[in-house]
Amino acid sequence: MTDTAVTPERAPAVRKAAPGGARTPRRSGRRRIALPYVLLLPALLLELLVHLVPMLMGITMSFRELTQFSIGDWSAAPWAGFDNFSVAVDFNAPAGRALLKSFLTTCVFTAASVGLCWLLGTAAAVFLQENFRGRAVLRTLFLVPYALPVYAAVITWAFMFQRDNGVINHVLHDQLGIGDTPAFWLIGDNSFWALLVVSVWKGWPFAFLTVMAALQNIPREMYEAAALDGAGVWKQIRHITLPSLRPVNQVLVLVLFLWTFNDFNTPFVLFGKAAPEAADLISLHIYQSSFRTWNFGTGSAMSVLLLLFLLAVTGVYLLLTTRGRKTSRA
Amino acid sequence: MPDAARARTPRSPMAPPRSFLWTRRIFLTLVTAFVVLPVYVMVSSSLKPLEDVSGKFEWIPSTLTAAPYFDIWETVPLADYFVNSIVVAGAATVLSVAVAIFAAYAVSRYEFRGRRVFAVTVLSTQMFPGILFLLPLFLLYVNIGNATGIALFGSREGLILTYLTFSLPFSVWMLTGYFDSIPRELDEAAKVDGCGPVGALFRVIIPAARPGIVAVGIYAFMTAWGEVLFASVMTNDTTRTLSVGLQGYSTLNDVYWNQVMAASLVVSVPVVAGFLLLQRYLVAGLTAGAVK
Amino acid sequence: MRRIRVAAAGAVTLSLVLTATACGGSGGGAGSDGDPRTLTYWASNQGASIEADKKVLRPELDKFEKETGIKVKLEVVPWSDLLNRILTATTSGQGPDVLNIGNTWSASLQSTGALLPWNAENFEAIGGKDRFVESALGSTGVRRQDPAAVPLYSMAYALYYNKKMFADAGIAQPPTTWDEVIAAGKKLSKDGRWGIGVEGSNLSNNIHQVFALGKQNGTDFFTADGKADFTSDAAVTAVKQYVDLMAVHKIVAPGNAEYAQNQSLSDFSKDRTGMVLWQSASATFASQGMNDDEWGVVPAPVLSGGPGAGAQTNSMVAGINMAVFKNTKNLDGARKFVKFMTSDEEQVVLNKAYGSIPPVMAAQQDPAFDGPALKVLRDTLATSATALPQVPEESQFETVVGTAVKELFAEAAAGRPVTTASVRAKLEAAQQQMPKK
């Protein structure tokens, strides 16, 4: 194949040649050694203040019996040992079972949402890579869902998903004649699909934006060379565009995953105080278990479990994707 | 696409095949419909009287009224909320991007002890469920306030600090990726020309990574712009942001659907316009020619 | 920007020290500062909008300032945020001096110990306990403890009916019992019109209705010593009776199962639903374009006979209470402010503005509350309204049982049968979610 000259060897040129090699340590005096730390300091301090310290406090709370009777002075709340955790993982009791169900729902939901967001975003970015009439308009239009305040966007969808007065049923039932009676979208089993649609609508422009930015960094010569070698558009996309996106995809997919998994705003605005079982995402579930029923100890324990899960998934993911990249390059 | 060949396009030497053009046309049409539908519903509903909005949906409003666009300012102090949101999201974005650029530069260009630990820690904070540290963070801010008099709860500063940190992990990580993709020879050359490491960052790296910086900036902005949970407990009526403030259109007795839609549109217009402007910089990465 | 940086740097150093000592809510004080001439007040959103509320309250607060020299910093907190704001304020000790709470939260918030107990001395300072209506005082905290709050606005449920739809269906008399409601509902339910509206996805509303039906069947949903008792036959019957309006009698439009934003009121004003059970709907009807003479109002239904005490209860005691944060640095000012707000004169002004009933007896006699709609509400409050259980777990009760009813409505709307067994199963699951005692 002629285009092997183009890819994949040259594609990673956008990234630096090899992880360790180019990173030449410079040891010209003490100032140089201090410099990276100085650069990191603001980020480090902020993370400490807003994330790390409160998280440690949160973990402490998960070991306390923190209910309405003790939140007035939480540092004096009685210690509960692992009680909160055993409540959360006792899958024979309703609380544990509900948590497990919510967790599984969230997993399925996240996989579907991230997949669709990535697919739509990448496809749109690739299709808009080349200039044609109307491209600029579409590019702006596609960012609109992202620019709307979350509350406004989601409440509009809630409005559209109303059974009797919403536009979705107006189209599906009244105009297309699907189903004998109009379907419910905000309660019952369909609520899962409603949530998925809203989540994708809100989330895909971000994938689009990121991929679009990444496409800017692919040297044009690569396409020109490929075209001279006779590679068609589809082939160019497959052999140049997609491989070049890999480093960005690694980040993008992980971020979309974490983001969707922890998403609170969407289900909260869409369903209000009590999400239907089919769309009971874990973050809302934990909110219910802490803020609505005033049991912050158990809520914190659930959050800690969630955090451990996400850490594990991320670790495995990074291990796999990074190794995958190394072997493909070798 | 008559002018495709003349336009400065990456794949110009050969016209795209039919299959590609049709796939593109169909795909873009469907996606456009998907994106536009809620926007259309917002626009049309914002022009209907309340009785019509709370009735059966109509594609074409039977009664048109501009009243919601006037009422929105009376129902809630929308202008104040808007200013709060812009200030909070704007400051959080600028600071977050600045902090992230420095950190990403360090991670991308230096080998130092603790580099991996930093990268992993920062990344892992992206996983914290907000619900886990909402209450602790609030307590922390209150205690800081009691001890020092710096009001972080209920103030814009506290919210800015919170939001800037929300987008920081991702920004650092993403920018590190973008910086990595900039050939090292460029900053080496700058250093030969007499720039220090910081000079190289400002003269070479930042201009070359502009699309990435813009993308990250937009991300930081939108994170702050849309956040509901923290804003609902960390603000009061003088610092309340839009995402919480818009809920004021649904009260105990009524939901002013038409006003919600009108207000959402009004506040979104400047943001969309801002996106439009920034897009030029995003695209500029292509023409800047620094990275090839 | 520089200020923020400095703040950030300082904050981090401090945070370490502070977590080491783990300050809880004990530190700090409520309100802005210890200045005896200022107070912070969180008002709940009672009127058409937050801005409308400010317009109602501001002149009164100015009046208070003129009388006492105390300046009140007002914040109208939307309902969506109010409970969370109170919880964080409770936890951190950083809250207002005076605040409004939903009266059903009284016992729950009382148990946090953050609110000032209204003992004899405190009641004396605002003119005495006996100025207030008995039923309103019943919803201020756990019985035999000092109340955690003072009644401010009172409300009760009544049955609103659409006169035109009743005439069209040939119903001469508005119903007074549930059987009559069902009979009227069946006459009304045809051609896309329906008998009665419910807010199936609104947890609080579900609880309010189910509670009244529970009383009529002889249960409080809690045992006398305050334990959750959701699975008694009476409780199951009450919940089933309510859901059966849709599931069996088909007098509720299935779409109501997803209602949580007062859509049933808009249906009512569009002549699509003949009846609604509501607290005070007149303002909403007006904003939906319905004239006052197009609807009528009668006391909410009972099982048989007429409304009264005990099993003849036809409404919960709805309303807003006023509470003082215990750690206020301006206790004297706070009491003065509560006294002002519950004075006969202010009670008339405020309740008139909000369409509610004054819980202060003297103010109730004002002719402003003699209109046909308000008179029904006033009589209900005086004779046949019962407070929701005053137990610390009340807010959990609302969440879990309210959700159970919501899910049962969803089943009914989907056409699945709702049986005694399925109701009992839902309530059993709800009870298991209650905190163990």
**pLDDT at residue number C96:** 92
> What is the predicted pLDDT for the residue at A13?
36
Token pair belonging to C327: 């750690």
Q: Under an 8 A CB cutoff, do C92 and B150 touch?
A: no
pLDDT value of position B285: 53
Q: Distances from the Cα of B8 to the Cαs of A226, B4, B210, B282, C389, in angstroms?
A: 17, 8, 20, 16, 74
- Round to whole Å and give the CA distance between A168 and A182: 10
Q: Which residues of A touch C255 (CB under 8 A)?
A: 162-164, 182
ipTM, 2 decimals? 0.82
pLDDT for position A5: 36
Which pairs from C370-378 meet CB under 8 Å and 24+ separation? C372/C296, C372/C297, C373/C158, C373/C280, C373/C282, C373/C297, C374/C280, C376/C158, C376/C297, C376/C298, C376/C299, C377/C155, C377/C156, C377/C158, C377/C279, C377/C280
**Mean pLDDT, to the nearest integer, of C376-392?**
91
C-beta separation of C427 from C237 below 8 A: no
Domain count, chain C: 2
- Partners of chain A (3+ Cβ pairs below 8 A): B, C
Q: C267 and C406 share a domain? A: yes
pLDDT number for residue C97: 94
- In total, the C-beta contacts within 8 angstroms joining chain A to chain B are 326
Distances in Å between the Cα of A327 and the Cα atoms of A260, A321, A323, B108, C183 are 30, 10, 6, 22, 76
- Nearest residue on chain B to C81, alpha-carbon basis: B232
Whether A157 and B135 lie within 8 Å, measured CB to CB: no
pLDDT tier for residue C144 given thresholds of 50, 70 and 90: confident
Residue C256 DSSP label: G
Q: Of residues B257 and A111, which shows the higher confidence score? A: A111
Q: Of A293, A296, A298, which to mutate for an interface test with C (greatest number of C Cβ within 10 Å)?
A: A293
Look at residue A60 and tell me whether its pLDDT is greater than 80: yes
pLDDT tens digit sequence for B66-116: 999 998 998 888 999 999 999 999 999 999 999 999 999 998 888 888 888
Domain presence at residue C81: yes
Strand arrangement, sheet containing C318-324: C71-77, C38-44, C98-102, C318-324, C150-155
Q: List chain C residues with CB under 8 Å of A72.
A: 24-25, 90-91, 112-114
pLDDT given for residue C28 in this prediction: 39
Which whole-number Å values give the CA distances from A198 to A151, B262, C41, C257, C393, in the listed order? 12, 20, 38, 21, 35
Q: Between A150-160 and B18-46, two packed helices, what is the crossing angle to 10 degrees?
A: 90
For residue range A31-44, list pLDDT tens digits in order: 567 888 888 899 98
**pLDDT band per the 50, 70, 90 thresholds, residue B284:** low
| Residue of B41, B49, B84 lying closest to B65 (CA atoms) | B49
- Is the CB of B125 less than 8 angstroms away from the CB of A296? no
pLDDT, position A221: 81
Q: Which residue of A has its CA nearest to B97?
A: A43
Report the residue of A273, A289, A296 to disrupt the C interface, i.e. the one with the largest count of C CBs within 10 Å. Answer: A273
Cβ proximity of C142 and C392 under 8 Å: yes
Residue C151 sits in the same domain as residue C164: no
Helices (H), chain A: 30-46, 53-62, 83-89, 94-127, 135-147, 150-160, 167-169, 191-215, 220-228, 233-236, 242-244, 246-261, 265-271, 282-287, 296-329
Mean pLDDT of C128-137: 91
Phi, psi of C53 (to 5 degrees): -65, -40
Amino acid at site B140? L
Across all residues in chain C, what is the average pLDDT? 88
Contact indicator for C249, C269 with CB cutoff of 8 Å: no
Query: Looking at the partner chain, which of A15, A25, A39 has a beta carbon nearest the beta carbon of B106?
Result: A39
What are C245-284's pLDDT values in tens digits?
999 999 999 999 999 888 899 899 989 999 999 988 888 8
pLDDT at C313: 94
Please state which of the ranges B198-202, C18-22, C160-164, C328-332 shows the lowest mean pLDDT. Answer: C18-22
Among candidates B10, B169, B247 on the partner chain, residue whose Cβ is nearest the Cβ of A220: B10
**Res A1: pLDDT:** 36
Cα(C429)–Cα(C437) distance, integer angstroms = 17
Q: Is A257 in the B-facing interface, judged by CB distances under 8 Å?
A: no
Q: Which two tokens stand for residue C211?
A: 């509670």
Q: Tell me if C134 is assigned to some domain.
A: yes
May I ask the CATH architecture of the domain B77-249? Answer: Orthogonal Bundle (1.10)
Instruction: Assess whether C55 and C79 both reside in one domain.
Output: yes
pLDDT tens readout for residues B208-257 = 888 889 888 988 998 898 888 888 888 888 889 988 888 888 776 678 88
Say yes or no: C176 and C307 in one domain. Answer: yes
Interstrand relation of C273-278 and C194-197 (parallel, antiparallel or unpaired): parallel
Interchain proximity B218–A209, CB inside 8 Å: yes
Q: Residues C311, C322: one domain? A: no
Tell whether C83 and C100 lie within a shared domain: yes
Please state the rounded mean pLDDT for residues B117-135: 81
Quick: pLDDT tens for A157-212. 999 999 888 899 888 988 888 888 888 999 888 999 999 999 999 999 989 988 88
Confidence of residue C343 (pLDDT cuts 50, 70, 90): very high
Domain end call among C386, C401, C421: C386
Residues C291 and C364 in one domain: no
Residues C3-17 pLDDT 10s:
444 444 444 444 444
How does residue C401 score in pLDDT terms, banded at 50, 70 and 90? very high
Q: What is the arithmetic mean of pLDDT over B111-135?
A: 82
Question: Is there a single domain that holds both residue C401 and residue C379?
Answer: no
Least confident piece of the model among A16-30, B125-139, C383-397, C416-430: A16-30
* CB-nearest partner of B292 from A139, A219, A232: A219
CA dihedral angle for residue B249, residue B253, residue B257, residue B261, rounded to 10 degrees: 0
Greatest Cα pair distance, chain A, in angstroms, is: 79
Does the pLDDT at position C421 exceed 60?
Answer: yes
> Is C360 found in the same domain as C232?
no
Q: What integer pLDDT is reported at residue A23 of this predicted model?
A: 43
Write out residues 138-177 of C within 8 Å (CB-CB) of B.
none
- Rounded to an integer, the average pLDDT of B257-272 is 88
Give me the residue spans of the domains in chain A: 101-330
Q: How many CB pairs under 8 A join A and C?
A: 119
Residues 149-178 of B with CB under 8 A from A: 161-162, 164-166, 168-170, 172-174, 177-178
C75 bridge partner residues: C42
Q: Are residue C118 and residue C58 in the same domain, yes or no?
A: yes
What does the pLDDT read at residue A32?
A: 64
CATH number of the A101-330 domain: 1.10.3720.10
pLDDT band for C437, please (50, 70, 90 cuts): low
pLDDT for residue A324: 54
Bridge partners for C364 per DSSP: none
What is the C-alpha to C-alpha distance for residues C402 and C247, in angstroms, rounded to an integer? 17
pLDDT surpassing 50 at residue A312: yes
Residue A8: what pLDDT? 35
Rounded-to-integer distance, Cα A106 and Cα A263, Å? 10
pTM: 0.85
pLDDT of residue C197 exceeding 80: yes
Per-residue model confidence as pLDDT tens digits over A201-240:
999 998 998 888 888 777 778 888 888 888 888 888 888 8
What's the pLDDT score for residue A174?
85
C321 shares a domain with C213: no
- pLDDT value at position A323? 63
- Please, which pLDDT band fits residue A82 given cuts at 50, 70 and 90? confident
User: Cis omega (within 30 of 0) on the bond before A36?
Assistant: no
Q: How far is A70 from chain C (nearest CA, A)?
A: 7
Instruction: Read off φ and ψ for residue C227, nearest 5 degrees.
Output: -90, 145
Query: What range does the domain containing C163 cover?
Result: 158-316+393-432
* Domains in chain B: boundaries: 18-66, 77-249
Among B154, B86, B234, CA closest to C73: B154
Give me the CATH number covering residue C174.
3.40.190.10
DSSP type of residue C152: E
